[in-house]
Amino acid sequence: MFFGSLNGLVAFYPDRLAPNPYVPPVVLTELSLFNKPVLPGRDSPLDKPIWATRALTFSHDQSIFTLGFAGLSNAAPENNLYRYRLDPLERDWNEADSRRRQATYTSLAAGHYVFRVQASSKDGVWNEKGVTLAVTVLPPWWAEWWFRAMVGATIAAAVVAAHKVRVRGLKVAATRLETQVAERTRELAVAKEAAERANQAKGAFLAAMSHELRTPLNAILGFSAMVRDSRDLAENHRENLDIVNRSGEHLLGLIDDVLDTAKIEAGGLTLDLRSFDVIRAVQDNIDMMRVRCRQKNVDLILAISPTVPRYIRSDPGRFRQVLINLLGNAVKFTERGSVTVRLDARNSLLILEVEDTGIGIAPQDQGRIFDAFVQAGNITTQKGTGLGLSIAQQFVQMMAGTIGVESTPGQGSRFRVELPVEAVDESAVTASRQHKEIIGLAPGQSYRILIVEDRKENWLLLQGLLAGVGFQVQVAEDGAQGVEKFRAWQPHFIWMDVGLPVMGGAEAAARIRLMEGGRDVKIVALSASVLAAEREAILAAGFDESLRKPVRREEIFDCLARHLNVRFVYQEAPSPHSAEPVRVQRTDLSILPVRLRQELADAVVSLNPSRIQEVIARVADHDAPSGEFLSFTAKRLAYTEILKALEESGIRLREQAW
């Protein structure tokens, strides 16, 4: 290539370009203690910026620190590579890319260390020298040499003094020492007893709260499911009952939030990794919030990217809790405008965004919005969710993800969650998605079932469910009646509540076991308790199994099949979100408001695919202008009609996940 210049022609030969030998400098960019940034100051371990620091000293209680670093090669910084280690703790290099430019160390023993980090440019040129940082972790004060010397000197002085004092002095000193030890022992015993009482009170409170809330939820969820499965129920009523059921499940999730907080504090919470339909999970939560948004005249928008895999492997319960906490918070603090939920996927990361046009969060409050029971803002615009955001953050961190917030006061907030997930094939979740409805007992089977339950709504639910498929059912409303009905009727199976009047469930079960036929009958406890110790006590009292309220109908029938070897007659039931084959007609677009149809037309005329995609996403989340819910089939009709119209106009879009 030749270019003219003032001094003649300038020649440039692209094929003679040599590799870039640039060796990128490496710098330390940040220091964090307990996940909080550290700046230079009087009480800080830094007396100058971290990039200019060559040695750091930490006290023994500064046990978690993070060092950030960067390679100063900006040709393509996303392709820079790093390796680091802490001598002599680590012999091998830890490798990292530009997305993970941090090293975190916890609970280091007292001593001297050297942190080393190297970087390479996008062309693979490594800075072998890198940068080093001397790190010293001080021992606790009781391990310092001066303290040990003081202890030694004190002992030596005591030995010398012991030789000089009289026997009477030794006895007086010994008596005084014994008195002090006894007093201190009493104080420790009192403190231990107080701690044990507090722990017992906490456990009793959690057990009582769980019982009092789970017991009515058992009836709410059970009866709503029973009515929802009625064959003559109108479709809009079925959808309303779906929302009631999901709301009950959400209330149950809030109860579990408090219990999960206690488990997190005790380190006893674990993930339940399973394959599930992530798009269905998001849609269920959107449906549950739709009524609240309509009441507040707030638009609820769902946008799902075509790159999102429908089926993933993660913890579905924790994922739903994170989404409902973020979505509920957004709806709560948005009085006008919209709440938008976006789902995207990039590089094995599932990206969930919840954006609102609400009151927003002040910059000084954004750093602590994930703390428990934080209220951000002034007294008239306080924003906070108690345990919600705190638990959401802990769940996201448990799933190896990140959560953050961007907000402008008065304009709204956007919460962003990134979770590493594994996409799975539909076959991995097909078995769990099959839904069969039990319509009766297999021919030739007859079973007597006794229900011992004091709450009428609970025994009515069980009685209706069991009698409806052909079981012979009787009811006793306290433990003493249960014992007498067993003696007179000899049932094959007993559902027994644990907390019964007159005679408790455990005592009633123990008495039945001592009666004729008592060893053969199957007794299953129904309890609202979530404490493992209480469950163990229930099983030790003579029960064959313990089910926790609220009990799903599937659990009830599965339990009967396990213990009685009962056989049921099944009938396939359609999924509430299944899309049956339909004929598309031009009139189907009439269910959409004029404004939405006009926006779609404008987007098509302008040949703007991204705008078309956005309008289609709004169609998927739209309901009729009259306030009535549109069925899934009706929305699918409109969606299919839009795609057909676009194809006739010469525009083809990849079909979104529905």
Which domain CATH number covers 126? 2.60.40.10
Stretch 114-130: mean pLDDT, rounded? 91
Look at residue 602 in the predicted model and tell me its pLDDT. 63
Inter-CA distances, 287 with 161, 172, 299, Å: 82, 79, 13
- Residues 564, 590: one domain? no
Q: Last residue of a domain, which of 544, 572, 600?
A: 572
- Judge whether 542 lies within some domain: yes
- Residues 365, 462: one domain? no
Task: Tell me the pLDDT band of 442, cut-offs 50, 70 and 90.
Answer: confident
| pTM of the model as a whole | 0.43
- Please check the confidence at residue 628 and state whether its pLDDT lies above 70: no
Largest CA distance in the chain: 117
- Please check the confidence at residue 493 and state whether its pLDDT lies above 90: yes
- Judge whether 217 lies within some domain: no
| The CA-based dihedral angle spanning residues 498, 503, 507, 508, taken in that order and rounded to the nearest 10 degrees | -80
Task: Tell me the pLDDT band of 646, cut-offs 50, 70 and 90.
Answer: low
- Residues 78, 34: one domain? yes
- Please check the confidence at residue 112 and state whether its pLDDT lies above 90: yes
- Judge whether 562 lies within some domain: yes
What percent of the chain is modeled with pLDDT above 70?
70
- Residues 459, 536: one domain? yes
On average, the pLDDT of the chain sits at: 79
Q: Last residue of a domain, which of 395, 429, 463?
A: 429
Which CATH number characterizes residue 485's domain?
Answer: 3.40.50.2300
- Residues 67, 88: one domain? yes
Q: Nearest Cα to 513, choosing from 537, 544, 551, 535?
A: 544
- Residues 608, 560: one domain? no
Look at residue 5 in the predicted model and tell me its pLDDT. 87
Look at residue 401 in the predicted model and tell me its pLDDT. 94
Look at residue 412 in the predicted model and tell me its pLDDT. 92
- Residues 552, 604: one domain? no
- Please check the confidence at residue 64 and state whether its pLDDT lies above 60: yes
Look at residue 190 in the predicted model and tell me its pLDDT. 83
Look at residue 587 in the predicted model and tell me its pLDDT. 30
- Judge whether 87 lies within some domain: yes
The Cα 110–Cα 59 span in angstroms is 9
Q: 61 is in which domain, residue-wise? A: 20-142
- Residues 438, 328: one domain? no
Stretch 476-485: mean pLDDT, rounded? 95
- Please check the confidence at residue 631 and state whether its pLDDT lies above 50: no
List of residues 6+ apart from 459 with CB closer than 8 A = 451, 453, 475, 477
DSSP line for 425-485 = -THHHHHHH--EEEEEEPTT---EEEEE-S-HHHHHHHHHHHHTTT-EEEEESSHHHHHHH
- Residues 311, 422: one domain? yes
Number of residues that make up the chain: 658
Stretch 15-30: mean pLDDT, rounded? 84
Task: Tell me the pLDDT band of 353, cut-offs 50, 70 and 90.
Answer: very high
Residue in the block written with tokens 């490798």: 95
- Residues 370, 489: one domain? no
- Residues 541, 563: one domain? yes
Q: Which amino acid is at 573?
A: A
Look at residue 626 in the predicted model and tell me its pLDDT. 44
Look at residue 242 in the predicted model and tell me its pLDDT. 67
Range name among 55-69, 306-320, 397-411, 566-580 with the lowest pLDDT average: 566-580
- Residues 471, 360: one domain? no
How many domains does the chain contain in total? 4
Look at residue 94 in the predicted model and tell me its pLDDT. 94
Q: How far is CA 250 from the centre of its chain?
A: 13
Look at residue 638 in the predicted model and tell me its pLDDT. 57
Tens of pLDDT, residues 566-614: 888 876 554 444 333 222 233 344 445 556 656 666 665 555 556 666 6
